Structure 1
Amino acid sequence: MSALEVEGLHTYYGKSHILHGVSLELREGEIVTLLGRNGAGKTTTLRSLVGLTRAREGAVRIFGQATTDWPPFRIARLGLGYVPEGRRIFPNLTVDENLRVPIERPGPWDIPRIYQLFPRLAQRKTNKGRQLSGGEQEMLAIARALLLNPKILVLDEPSQGLAPLIVQEVFRVVKSMRQEGISVLLVEQNVRAAVEIADRAYVLDDGKVVFSGPAAEFAKDEQRVRALAGASAEEWAPPAGRA
């Protein structure tokens, strides 16, 4: 069953036509990655499907419900958690206070379980958001989204600006969402990391989908990785024992 369907989205910023008929699907319990160069339209796609930037044409359906014109809070109530680019945590609140901001929804995720998933946050729960490293801030942003007990988790560039070891830790957590039954839509510049954990991949170029298919198939095409994703071809190796 489809958790999320996006069909023929056309989105504009003023007179600038950004998305040109973008379509994609996220099935239940699946990780899908959306790849592309800077400016290809990845973040605009996410903003359009979560209700932050309304599409002029096309349709978005979440668990079969048409949500194209819904405001973000209604979309969130369907069980969609969104972690935007830049993390957007509260810098003057402690880690523990940041985690108490989301409105509680019934489900398995609560603050004690978050601290089990992210021991680093447990160690720093009295530190203010501004005192955290970039990796810790990303963990906190993901943790806040999980406290909504989402059925769909949408992540925009979770590895941006992070050291390689921290990237591996963040992607370990993202991969574990599949076992939790959470469907994940991942926008990512680190192509090697993304295709390692994703079931399927879409590539955007100039606001159009230019590839869709199994992530493993895309990963094998080195020329396409370089030309379409605009990403480095550096090797990606998941942590030992965490395949």
Structure 2
Amino acid sequence: MSALEAEGLNTYYGKSHILHDVGLSVAEGQITTLLGRNGAGKTTTLRSLVGLTPPRSGRVSLFGKDITGQPSYRIAAGGVGYVPEGRRVFANLTVDENLRVPMERPGPFDIGRVYKLFPRLGERKQNLGRQLSGGEQEMLSIGRALLLNPRLLILDEPSQGLAPLIVKEVFRIVVQMREEGISILLVEQNVRMSLEISDHAYVLENGQMVYSGPAAELRADEARIQALAGASAEEWKLEDLLPV
């Protein structure tokens, strides 16, 4: 069974037609990455999937259940954790208070486990959200989503604006989540990094899907990688991300 299936999504902002018959599938227990240049429609695709910007037409199913037209809170309750671009932590709440905002769902993740996963957050749990670095805010945003004990985790540009060492730490966590059976849909500008850890890849261009295939196949296509905006010159290997 697929964790997520979408077909024929047409999404508008006012009169602007942004997504044109977009479809994708996220296999259960795998990492699927959605690539594309700035303005291609990647974030709109994610917002369409989780009900924040409902498409005018198309169909979305979650673990075999039709969720088309459902509000975002109901989609989240169905087992979806969404980490939006820009982190959006509560600036005037402490780290600990931020982590107590979500309604916890039964499962392996609680606040104690989040602190073990991200020791930096444990060290700064009494600091306000606005006092955190960009990397710490990203960790907090991911940790908050994990408290929902999601079956599907959707991340929008988790490496944006982060130092390389912090990027590696964030992606190491993403790989670990897959190892724990969580299905992942990843939007990312770091093309090489995302293809290194992903099982399947899509490329979106001007609101249309122009590629769907194994991530390893796209990773071997150097010309196509170079054509994608944001392709990193540094190559990171999967074994560098796995725990020793």
TM-score normalised to the size of structure 2? 0.97
Q: How far apart, CA to CA, are the structure 1 residues paired with 2:144 and 2:237?
A: 25
Q: Name the amino acid aligned to 2:29.
A: G
Q: Is the 8 A contact 1:95 1:126 kept in 2?
A: yes
1:51 is paired with a residue of what secondary structure?
coil
Q: How far apart, CA to CA, are the structure 2 residues paired with 1:178 and 1:73?
A: 24
**How far does residue 237 in structure 1 lie from its aligned partner after superposition?**
1.8
Aligned to 1:236: 235
1:185 is paired with a residue of what secondary structure?
strand
Instruction: Write out aligned runs for 1:192-207 (5 A).
Output: 192-207=192-207
1:69 and 2:69 aligned: yes
Q: How far apart, CA to CA, are the structure 2 residues paired with 1:221 and 1:85?
A: 27
Q: Name the amino acid aligned to 2:236.
A: A
Q: How far apart, CA to CA, are the structure 1 residues paired with 2:179 and 2:236?
A: 21
Distance 1:111 1:226, change over 3 A: same
Q: Name the amino acid aligned to 1:106.
A: P
Aligned to 1:78: 78
Instruction: Write out aligned runs for 1:1-243 (5 A).
Output: 1-227=1-227, 229-238=228-237, 242-243=241-242
Q: Is the 8 A contact 1:168 1:239 kept in 2?
A: no
Q: Is the 8 A contact 1:168 1:238 kept in 2?
A: no
Distance 1:88 1:82, change over 3 A: same
Q: How far apart, CA to CA, are the structure 1 residues paired with 2:117 and 2:23?
A: 33
Q: Is the 8 A contact 1:200 1:214 kept in 2?
A: yes
2:194 is paired with a residue of what secondary structure?
helix
Runs of 4+ in 1 over 3 A off after TM superposition: 238-243
**How far does residue 240 in structure 1 lie from its aligned partner after superposition?**
6.6
Runs of 5+ consecutive residues of structure 1 not aligned to the other structure: none
Q: Is the 8 A contact 1:7 1:22 kept in 2?
A: yes
Q: How far apart, CA to CA, are the structure 2 residues paired with 1:115 and 1:151?
A: 20
Q: How far apart, CA to CA, are the structure 2 residues paired with 1:242 and 1:11?
A: 36
Q: Is the 8 A contact 2:171 2:241 kept in 1?
A: no
Alignment RMSD (CA, Å): 1.1
Q: How far apart, CA to CA, are the structure 2 residues paired with 1:218 and 1:242?
A: 20
1:127 is paired with a residue of what secondary structure?
coil
What is the total number of aligned residue pairs between the two structures?
242
Deviations 1:177-234, CA, capped at 9 Å, x for gaps: 111110000000010110111000000000011111011110111111122x222341
Q: How far apart, CA to CA, are the structure 1 residues paired with 2:73 and 2:130?
A: 26
Identity %: 68
Q: How far apart, CA to CA, are the structure 1 residues paired with 2:238 and 2:14?
A: 44
**How far does residue 96 in structure 1 lie from its aligned partner after superposition?**
0.7
